[in-house]
């Protein structure tokens, strides 16, 4: 029975891992940009939510998702519009990656200087310990809510990109940015909106993760590593692949604790390495 409970909790944790990589998958799928600063923005969102709760302790931690997501969209929009668009237009993947790498270093050291290196966390209150039982299996409400939010985000983003006129414009811009200009579409604005949406995903991931575990100003490296593994393992450009990959990593991580309590993320990283060799294009990517 313990293995069934571990499997369920691994799936619930995987939903959170999936959100970590969702914004990264969106940006790469549309702009072919690897945002190395993705982890720092996740941590920044967690710090923002923690600051809001410190100023308004009566606020439900889950409700901080709304103002943090709104602020994150604005930051992402401006980040793309004022900085990243200057190098994305060149069609070179290396230039924007180097820019975001520089931004990640600046942000990490800035957060370290302001907030220090002490661990922080968002106190989810009674929700953090609340659970229900299915026979001998105990399931926490917070992990279940996290998985529900994850599925809603993946489904909503899939619908937005695949089934709406805005999504068709985004896909056309990703494929032929020069041609859409002839139709009156400004790729610069489209890219900015896409980055804003990616920041929203990163902010949700940051807040939800901070409710489950502690973080610090330097935790961005760990976050970007998981996000990168989720995107690559799921298959570049596949949203649902990223969710499946996140669930797979979460299950492997928690299952490995049953026989090696000190393993941490070792076996999840090992799984990623094996998949990289056996199927480099990921679970739902095209076969190599």
Spatial distance between the Cα atoms of 79 and 96, rounded to a whole number of angstroms: 12
pLDDT > 60? residue 78:
yes
Nearest to 248 by CA among 272, 266, 264: 272
- Distance of alpha carbon 114 from alpha carbon 154, whole angstroms: 34
Residues 6+ apart with CB under 8 A from 106: none
133-171 pLDDT tens trace: 887 788 889 999 999 999 999 999 999 999 999 999 999
**Using 50, 70 and 90 to split pLDDT, how confident is the model at 182?**
confident
Residues 219 and 16 sit within 8 Å (Cβ to Cβ): no
H/E run at residue 137: strand 137-140
Q: What is the pLDDT of residue 89?
A: 64
Question: Average pLDDT of 1-20?
Answer: 89
Q: Mean pLDDT throughout 78-88?
A: 90
Q: Is the pLDDT of residue 287 over 80?
A: no
Can you say whether the dihedral through the CA atoms of 36, 38, 41, 47 is positive or negative? negative
Looking at residue 285, its pLDDT comes to 65
Beta bridge partners of 215: 120
Which candidate, 240, 266, 241, 243, places its Cα nearest to that of 255?
A: 266
Among residues 46, 41, 47, 49, the alpha carbon closest in space to that of 104 is found at: 41
- Domain 2-278 indexed as CATH 1.25.40: no
User: So what's the pLDDT on residue 175?
Assistant: 87
CA dist 47 and 151 (Å) reads 24
DSSP secondary structure letter of residue 173 = H
What tokens does 6 get? 């571990």
What's the first-to-final CA gap in the chain, in angstroms? 39
Instruction: Provide the pLDDT for residue 288.
Output: 42
Average pLDDT of the chain to the nearest whole number: 89
pTM: 0.91
Distance CA 46, CA 32 (A): 26
Q: What confidence score (pLDDT) does residue 183 get?
A: 86
Average pLDDT over residues 224-228: 91
Q: Calculate the CA dihedral of residues 207, 209, 211, 212 and round it to 10 degrees.
A: 180
């Amino acid at each position: 029975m313990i293995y069934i409970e571990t499997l369920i909790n691994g799936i619930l944790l995987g939903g959170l891992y999936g959100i970590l990589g969702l914004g990264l998958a969106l940006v790469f799928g549309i702009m072919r940009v690897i945002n190395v600063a993705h982890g720092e923005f996740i941590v920044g969102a967690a710090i923002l939510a923690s600051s809001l709760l410190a100023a308004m302790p009566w606020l439900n931690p889950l409700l901080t998702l709304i103002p943090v997501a709104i602020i994150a969209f604005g930051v992402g929009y401006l980040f793309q519009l004022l900085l990243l668009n200057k190098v994305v237009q060149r069609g070179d993947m290396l230039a924007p990656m180097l820019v975001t790498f520089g931004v990640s270093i600046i942000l990490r050291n800035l957060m370290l200087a302001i907030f220090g290196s002490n661990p922080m966390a968002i106190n989810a209150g009674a929700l953090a310990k609340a659970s229900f039982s299915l026979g001998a299996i105990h399931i926490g409400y917070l992990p279940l809510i996290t998985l529900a939010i994850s599925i809603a985000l993946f489904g909503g983003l899939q619908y937005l990109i695949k089934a709406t006129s805005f999504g068709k414009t985004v896909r056309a811009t990703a494929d032929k940015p020069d041609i859409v200009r002839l139709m009156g579409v400004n790729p610069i604005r489209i890219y900015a909106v896409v980055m804003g949406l990616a920041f929203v995903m990163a902010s949700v991931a940051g807040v939800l993760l901070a409710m489950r575990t502690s973080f610090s100003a330097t935790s961005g490296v760990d976050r970007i590593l998981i996000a990168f593994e989720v995107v690559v393992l799921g298959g570049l450009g596949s949203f649902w692949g990223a969710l499946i990959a996140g669930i797979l990593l979460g299950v492997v991580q928690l299952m490995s604790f049953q026989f090696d309590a000190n393993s941490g993320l070792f076996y999840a990283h090992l799984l990623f390495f094996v998949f990289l060799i056996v199927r480099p294009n990921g679970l739902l990517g095209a076969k190599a």
